[in-house]
Amino acid sequence: MIAKINHGTNLMGALIYNFKKVENLKAEIIFTQKIAERADGVRTIHDLYDSFEPYLIANRKTEKPSLHISLNPDPKDLVDDPTFILLAKDYMEKMGYGNQAFVLFKHTDVERTHLHIVSVNIDRLGRKISDSFEKRKSMSVCKELENKYNLHPANLKQNESLKSSFRPVDYKKGDLKSQISSIVRYIPSYYKFSTLGSYNALLSLFNIRAEKVENNWRGIPIEGLVYFALNEKAEKAGPPFKSSLFGKKSGMKQVELDFSKSKDILNNHPSKKLIQSTIEMVLHSSSSESDFKKSLVEQGINIVVHKNKEGRIYGITFIDHENRTVWNGSQLGKGFSANRFNEIWNEVSPQDIDKSKPKSIQYSMSNENQHSLKSSNFSTIDSIFPMTDFALIENLFFPLQTDNYEEKEFEKKRRKKKKRKKS
């Protein structure tokens, strides 16, 4: 079972999200705790909200009082409603929310029948309920409940030997070729991305950009990639490095092959429905664009938003570190398109979106540092990866390398040559 926990600012948004599912017969309320009931048994969204209002009024200083949790058993688990209720109550109790008012929704809109719990993370005196080590605690609780209710264990595909405190390229430290090499040689092996744009969205988190170059040699067109390190303002910091310096995995031919393979894998990826659900859950629990982005980072998902010079969104990419997948909004469906987010955040209609080629680039981080860069070649990118919060994606599955690819290849050839001479 996989649990997704979101602390948000917009409790009503979380209720609206689930109630829409109920209205469309894709969800139902199967249990409530400490929620006022009407004599006729009818539940309205405002009645539910009224039951949470005393908590919100008493709130002392918690910025994100809304609690929205999804519990996702394996699709093979056939769980009936009474067991779902016991499961949810056990989970809330073990996570420290056992005495809270909450509403339990069962969602049946995807193959994986799952639960959504809407509550608040403050008690009736307005005090914040501790969420220390929440993710670690939740994983432990899920494992315990899997055993108790005979559920299939979650397949997180974590490789402990590959965990590391991975860091982006730092142009100030020098030796850029080795720093870039340590990243671009591993990303294709551990992440799935289907376009150069999504590849660059991923690379941007590590202060790197790849650019396609085209040349002509004796009438034969040749395509390749060059890599640049970026500074804190997203400016190119240092010379370009040919992909051949980093081995075949980072070259144009192999990367395009990765695009093709990833496209097929992503179309049928088992995590697709879960990431859709997570994004929707966070979106409806958030009150602003920045709030949404920060909350997504807490879920292990980065968002890269492409904007034109007027600030209108024309592209959006989601990077799911838990499942190591990179999704363009359109790949996830119409509800995750740039047009939708442009309407939500910029309050303009899709017809008003300027699709002309933009002329500026802007990286905005979730920490206090915000930078912008003017360029005649790039589009606006609003990236939300906090450079100081790398613990949030501790499981990036990359061993930090400082070796030089060319030196290793030279040494390998030297040993082979020496071996041939001996024989």
User: What is the pLDDT, as a whole number, of residue 58?
Assistant: 94
User: What is the pLDDT, as a whole number, of residue 393?
Assistant: 37
User: Is residue 113 exposed (0-12), middle (13-18) or buried (19+ Cβ within 10 Å)?
Assistant: middle
Residues of the chain below pLDDT 70: 155-166, 216-222, 347-423
Number of H-type helices and E-type strands within the chain: 13, 14
User: What is the pLDDT, as a whole number, of residue 359?
Assistant: 31
Tens-place pLDDT, residues 285-330: 888 888 898 888 888 899 988 888 888 888 899 999 888 899 999 8
User: What is the pLDDT, as a whole number, of residue 208?
Assistant: 93
User: What is the pLDDT, as a whole number, of residue 326?
Assistant: 94
DSSP track, 60-101 = -S-S--EEEEEEE--TT----HHHHHHHHHHHHHHTT-TTS-
Q: At 333, is the secondary structure helix, strand, or coil?
A: coil
pTM over 0.75, yes/no: no
d(CA 106, CA 100): 19
Tens-place pLDDT, residues 55-72: 999 999 999 999 999 999
Q: Are 257 and 250 in contact (CB under 8 A)?
A: no
Tens-place pLDDT, residues 229-270: 998 877 888 889 998 888 888 888 889 989 998 988 998 888
